[in-house]
């Protein structure tokens, strides 16, 4: 028996996008009189659709297929990530599965109790005390009172706000409410858990706690459907992921593969740039930048890199005026804006070459098992040693994402925690055993 | 891991197509929530107020006092030989319950939008907790009723045996109306605007300020179509020993059952699409 079975699920929304402007005053006046009638028709048909619209033959701008023929199923105990750009239909899918909104077509079958965490603190009321809110919020999320009674001490201890448990929540700091709300969520025991972007709120400590709790929920044999924009969380928590694009399920595979695919399609951070017109390319009469790209070991262009594999940063430039000693270099910046490192060709001979005019391609290889997961931005700089100036400095020219496949060499040791630090090097360790008789005390 | 509840439903989520009645088994599973929501409402309504629940007595008392002053004193209205304050108290207390329950029940979905879009709960819970929760105020205001009955030394009669029936009717009428209006309000906000006017007008077509004997006999068949009339007349018969107005009581019972059944059907159909049309 499947935990969740989704068959040809479609959802059509009426988005209320019908503004017809009338040109003549008379027509406008007639429209004004007709407005109550039109409003009535409009509000009446908010959730009903014509045959034509349902068949997908309508070109009306008034409707939107938020989901189209999505099918998949989830086995009990599976932790499945849901990945996709904003507006791809992930939340709509979650809302249908959690029964907040009905599908337009298709069906979902769920075996077991469902809890959905779409927001932290659903059902909280500011006038009630912390304790009262524990009961209320648990009930809203589908728990029985006797279950809460049994877990109450555990919930309070987990929240870490024992002292304020009888204080109205309106006098809580926002951090305290979030902790209390999460403590309630963490103690739900549904058979199927649906989690939306809950992890997006709160500080790093809170997010770490959420991730740990999620992974322990998965190990406890419960089914989890998890939506996140945090690709590192998806690869770490989920074995399998679904990629949704424009309301359609485009990929159903291992989470690492899906994340790579999703990141590659993310056009916000181009992984390569080219300047076709020499005149407008960055640089001057001495040298001009023609292209920058991220490559893999085979020289193929890529936008997401496996954490354990080397990443090549490559720039192509045309030297227009000979006789200069040129030093190209890159700076890699994290998405938090921290300069991770700068690199130039350290070979002394290469640093002394007086360049002839022509095209050059320089590649810097970042070894595998070094960069941490996440987005990295590249700054490209050319320095002229001869004249002591920089013909070009291009910030955030290209970007690439490092994805740690959960099976990779690096992450296996990281399972419990969030990797901390800007880099994730794989280091050689040695451990020696010292027999107690060898230890000379004093 | 063993689940902590013996409620393991198989949930089928399908497009809205079939008409049907609420899932009572599921509703039963959520009974704790119903209780918590009622309790939350009371707690929040009187939060940080010095008087607290005593306000549930003050409101009808004020109403009775004003009516007695205007209609009993100033206009010296004939109330079938019953002292006006007594007549008024018996009518005002169920009326305040019914009008309050109807108003809060009808807007219950709109006031809980934040929960509606975030988590699934049988939406009937929202209407139920408002209509049933208003009973707490009603029970407290009964203190006023007993005080007035004692003051006028009203004797008990066999008519009192009908009180449970009248009481159930008093809950059914606002529940039926709320089921309809709550789902209509979601689709057409006009309903909410209309509600205010409706409530102000409604008090003139129920025998609260005046006795129904003042209503011309040929208008009465129309007058008793208002299901609130039967309930208020029922309270007067039960508590004051007046003969039962069977015509209004029966009409009220039939209309409230029709409202409740059709309301439940319509609500069931609308509850699924609420989030899309809100």
Reported confidence tier of residue A20, pLDDT bands at 50, 70, 90: low
Residues A292 and A236 in one domain: no
Q: Which residue of A has its CA nearest to B13?
A: A108
Same domain, A105 and A179: yes
The answer to whether the Cβ–Cβ distance between B275 and A128 falls below 8 Å is no
Residue identified by tokens 């690096």 is A410
Whether the pLDDT of residue A411 is over 50: the answer is no
pLDDT band of A415, cuts 50, 70, 90: very low
pLDDT the model gives residue A287: 93
H or E stretch covering B236: helix B227-240
Asked if B14's CB is within 8 angstroms of A102's CB, the reply is yes
Q: Which of A53-62, A257-266, A331-340 has the lowest mean pLDDT?
A: A53-62
A381-409 mean pLDDT: 81
Tell me the average pLDDT of chain B.
Answer: 86
User: What pLDDT score was predicted for residue A205?
Assistant: 66
Mutation for testing the B interface, residue in A96, A113, A137, A186 having most B CBs under 10 Å: A113
Is residue A435 within 8 A of residue A337, CB to CB? The reply is no
d(CA A155, CA A355): 69
Mean pLDDT of chain A: 82
Mark which of A247, A265, A283 sits at the end of a domain: A265
Query: Highest mean pLDDT range out of A12-21, A332-341, A433-442, B41-50?
Result: A332-341
Tell me the C-alpha distance between A121 and A133, whole Å: 9
Residue A360 has pLDDT above 90, yes or no: yes
Cβ-based neighbours of A366, under 8 Å, separated by 6 or more: A310, A311, A312, A313, A332
- Is the confidence at residue A288, as pLDDT, over 60? yes
Sign of the alpha-carbon dihedral angle for A253, A259, A264, A266: positive
Same domain as A383, residue A348: yes
Q: Point out which residues pair with A242 in neighbouring strands.
A: A82, A252
Residues A130 and A212 in one domain: yes
Rounded distance, CA B221 to CA A43, Å?
36
Which CATH number covers residue A395?
2.70.50.60
Domain boundary among A204, A236, A265: A265
Q: What is the model's pLDDT at position A410?
A: 44
Question: Does residue A425 belong to any structural domain of this protein?
Answer: no
More confident residue, A214 or B89: B89
The yes-or-no verdict on residue B112 having pLDDT over 60 is yes
Kindly report which listed range (A239-248, A354-363, A403-412, B183-192) carries the lowest average pLDDT score.
A403-412
What is the spatial distance between Cα A77 and Cα A191, in angstroms, rounded to a whole number?
9
User: Tell me, what's the pLDDT at A416?
Assistant: 44
A102 with B47: Cβ contact below 8 A:
no
| Nearest chain B residue to A150, by CA | B4
Cα(B131)–Cα(B180) distance, rounded to whole angstroms?
13
Lowest mean pLDDT segment, chosen from A32-46, B65-79, B215-229: A32-46
Q: Under an 8 Å CB criterion, which residues of B touch A? A: 1, 3-5, 7-16, 29-30, 32-33, 35-37, 40, 43-44, 47-48, 114-121, 187-188, 272-273, 275-277
Q: Is residue A409 part of a domain?
A: no
**Residue from the list B35, B120, B188 with its beta carbon closest to the beta carbon of A99:** B120
Confirm whether A88 is domain-assigned.
yes
pLDDT above 90: residue A289: yes
| CB neighbour class for A380 (10 Å; exposed up to 12, middle 13-18, buried from 19) | buried
Nearest Cα residue to A240 out of A66, A74, A47: A74
Q: Is A189 in Cβ contact with B11 (below 8 Å)?
A: no
Task: Report the pLDDT value the prediction gives residue A382, as an integer from 0 to 100.
Answer: 93
Query: Could you tell me which of B161, B169, B179 has the C-alpha nearest to residue B253?
Result: B169
In this predicted structure, what is the pLDDT of residue A366? Answer: 93
Evaluate if residue A408 carries a pLDDT over 50: no
Structure tokens at A130: 């912390």
**From residue B275, how far is each of A101, A244, B106, B114 by CA, in Å?**
6, 22, 16, 10
Nearest to A421 by CA among A204, A175, A197: A204
The region of weakest confidence among A72-76, A303-307, A428-432, B6-10 is B6-10
Distance CA B50, CA A12 (A): 51
Are both A247 and A306 inside the same structural domain? no
Would you state the pLDDT for residue A407? 46
- Which residues constitute the domain of residue A24? 18-60
Residue ranges in B48-83 assigned as alpha helix (H): 55-67
ipTM of the complex: 0.80
pLDDT-derived band at A319, boundaries 50, 70, 90? very high
Alpha-carbon gap: B21 to the closest alpha carbon of chain A (Å) = 17
| Cα–Cα distance, B73 to B84 (Å, whole number) | 9
Helix H or strand E encompassing A15: none
User: What sign for the dihedral angle of Cα B239, B240, B241, B242?
Assistant: negative
Residue A435 lies in a domain: no
CB A110 to CB B188 under 8 A?
no
- Judged against a pLDDT cut of 80, whether residue B182 lies above it is answered with yes
Give the residue from A46, A106, A142 with the most B CB atoms within 10 Å of its CB, the best one to mutate: A142
pLDDT in tens, A175-189: 788 888 888 887 887
For range B165-173, the mean pLDDT: 94
pLDDT value, residue A413: 43
User: Left (φ > 0), alpha (ψ -120 to 50) or beta: where does A430 sit?
Assistant: beta
Whether residues A234 and A276 fall in one domain: no
| pLDDT exceeds 50 at position A249 | yes
A223/A330 same-domain check? no
A293 and A319 share one domain: yes
What is the pLDDT at residue A358? 92
Across residues B219-225, what is the average pLDDT?
A: 90
- When scoring B119, B126, B191 by the number of chain A Cβ atoms within 10 A, the one with the most, hence best to mutate, is B119
Encode pLDDT of B185-207 as tens digits. Answer: 888 878 888 888 888 899 999 99
Is residue B166 scored above 90 in pLDDT? yes
Looking at the domain assignment, is residue A7 inside a domain?
Answer: no
**A370 is a domain residue:** yes
What confidence tier does B126 reach under pLDDT thresholds 50, 70, 90?
very high
Same domain, A173 and A308: no
Nearest C-alpha of chain B: how many angstroms from A217? 10
> Which tokens belong to A430?
């040695």
Helix axes B124-151 and B246-271, enclosed angle (nearest 10): 150
Alpha helices in A98-203 (DSSP H): 130-140, 145-159, 174-186
Model confidence band, residue A23 (pLDDT cutoffs 50, 70, 90)? low
Band (B117; pLDDT cuts 50, 70, 90): confident
Instruction: State the Rg of chain A over Cα.
Output: 28
pLDDT confidence bin for A328, thresholds 50/70/90: very high
Where does the pLDDT of residue B260 fall: very low under 50, low under 70, confident under 90, or very high at 90 and above?
Answer: very high
Query: How many structural domains comprise chain A?
Result: 3
In this predicted structure, which of A84-88, A124-128, B274-278 has the lowest mean pLDDT? Answer: B274-278
The terminus-to-terminus CA distance of chain B in angstroms comes to 38
Contacts of B129 in chain A (CB under 8 A): none
Residues A81 and A215 in one domain: yes
Q: Is A98's CB within 8 Å of B36's CB?
A: no
The pLDDT of residue A308: 84
Structure tokens at A118: 């779409």
B/e letters for B67-78, b = 16+ CB within 10 Å, e = fewer, are bbeebbeeeebe
Co-location of A77 and A188 in the same domain: yes
Whether residues A109 and A40 fall in one domain? no
Chain-chain contact of A125 with B7 (C-beta, under 8 angstroms):
no
Q: How confident is the model at residue B160 (pLDDT cuts 50, 70, 90)?
A: confident
Alpha-carbon distance values, B142 to A137, A268, B44, B179, B237 (Å): 32, 67, 22, 26, 17
Is A436 inside any structural domain? no
Does the pLDDT of residue A94 top 60, yes or no? yes
Which member of A95, A113, A118 has the closest CB to residue B5?
Answer: A113
In a domain, A1, yes or no: no
Q: How much is the average pLDDT of A349-360?
A: 87
**Residue where a domain terminates, one of A403, A419, A434:** A403
Nearest by CB: A125 against B8, B15, B44:
B44
The residue-averaged pLDDT of A391-397 equals 88
């Amino acid at each position: 028996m499947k935990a969740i079975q989704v068959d040809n699920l479609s959802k059509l929304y009426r988005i209320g996008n019908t503004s017809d402007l009338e040109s003549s005053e008379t027509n406008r006046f007639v429209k004004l009189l007709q407005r109550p009638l039109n409003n009535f028709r409009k509000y009446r048909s908010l959730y009903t659709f014509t045959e034509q619209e349902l068949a997908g033959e309508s070109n009306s701008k008034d409707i939107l297929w938020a989901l189209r023929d999505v099918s998949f199923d989830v086995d009990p105990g599976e932790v499945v990530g849901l990945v996709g750009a904003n507006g791809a239909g992930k939340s709509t899918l979650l809302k249908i599965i959690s029964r907040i909104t009905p599908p337009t077509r298709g069906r979902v079958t769920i075996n077991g109790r469902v809890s959905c965490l779409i927001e932290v603190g659903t059902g909280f009321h500011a006038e009630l005390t912390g304790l009262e809110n524990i009961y209320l919020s648990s009930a809203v999320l589908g728990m029985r009172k006797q279950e809460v009674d049994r877990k109450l001490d555990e919930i309070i201890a987990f929240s870490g706000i024992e002292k304020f448990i009888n204080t109205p929540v309106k006098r809580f700091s926002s951090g305290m409410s979030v902790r209390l709300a999460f403590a309630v969520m963490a103690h739900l025991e549904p058979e199927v858990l649906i989690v939306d972007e809950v992890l997006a709120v709160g500080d790093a400590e809170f997010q770490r706690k959420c991730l740990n709790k999620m992974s322990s929920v998965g190990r406890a044999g419960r089914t989890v459907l998890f939506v996140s924009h945090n690709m590192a969380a998806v690869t770490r928590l989920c074995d399998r992921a679904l990629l949704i694009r424009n309301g359609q399920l485009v990929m159903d595979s291992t989470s690492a593969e899906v994340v790579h695919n999703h990141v590659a399609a993310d056009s916000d951070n181009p992984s390569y740039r080219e300047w076709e017109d020499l005149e407008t390319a960055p640089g001057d009469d001495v040298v001009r930048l023609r292209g920058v790209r991220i490559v893999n070991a085979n020289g193929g262009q890529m936008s997401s890199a496996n954490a354990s594999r080397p990443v090549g940063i490559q720039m192509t430039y045309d030297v227009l005026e000979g006789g200069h000693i040129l030093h190209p270099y890159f700076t890699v910046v994290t998405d938090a804006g921290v300069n991770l490192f700068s690199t130039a060709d350290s070979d002394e001979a290469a640093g002394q070459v007086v360049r002839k005019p022509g095209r050059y391609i320089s590649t810097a290889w970042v070894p595998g098992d070094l960069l941490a997961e996440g987005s990295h931005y590249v700054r490209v700089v050319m320095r002229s040693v001869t004249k002591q100036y920089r013909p070009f400095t291009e910030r955030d020219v290209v970007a690439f994402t490092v994805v740690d496949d959960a099976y990779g060499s690096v992450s296996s040791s990281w399972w419990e925690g969030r990797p901390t630090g800007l880099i994730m090097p794989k280091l050689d360790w040695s451990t020696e055993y010292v027999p107690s008789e060898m230890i000379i005390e004093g | 891991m063993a689940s902590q509840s013996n409620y393991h439903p198989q949930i089928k989520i399908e497009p809205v197509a079939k008409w049907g009645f609420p899932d009572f088994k599921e509703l039963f599973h959520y009974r704790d929530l119903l209780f918590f929501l009622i309790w939350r409402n009371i707690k929040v309504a009187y939060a940080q107020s010095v008087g607290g629940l005593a306000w549930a007595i003050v409101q009808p008392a004020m109403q009775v006092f004003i009516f007695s002053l205007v209609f009993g004193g100033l206009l010296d209205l004939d109330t079938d030989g019953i002292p006006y304050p007594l007549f008024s108290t018996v009518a005002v207390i169920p009326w305040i319950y019914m009008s309050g329950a109807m108003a809060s029940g009808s807007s219950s979905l709109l006031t809980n939008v934040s929960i509606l879009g975030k988590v699934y709960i049988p939406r009937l819970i929202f209407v139920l907790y408002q209509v049933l929760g208003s009973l707490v105020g009603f029970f407290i205001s009964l203190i006023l009723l007993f005080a007035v009955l004692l003051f006028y030394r009203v004797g008990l009669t066999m008519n009192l045996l009908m009180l449970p029936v009248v009481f159930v009717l008093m809950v059914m009428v606002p529940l039926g109306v709320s089921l309809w209006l709550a789902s209509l309000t979601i689709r057409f906000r006009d309903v909410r605007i209309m509600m205010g006017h409706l409530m102000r007008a409604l008090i003139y077509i129920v025998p609260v300020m005046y006795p129904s004997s003042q209503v011309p006999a040929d208008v009465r068949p129309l007058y008793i179509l208002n299901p609130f009339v039967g309930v208020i007349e029922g309270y007067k018969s039960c508590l004051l020993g007046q003969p039962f107005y069977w015509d209004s009581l029966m009409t009220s019972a039939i209309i409230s059952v029709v409202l409740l059944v059709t309301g439940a059907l319509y609500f069931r159909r609308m509850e699924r699409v609420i989030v899309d049309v809100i």
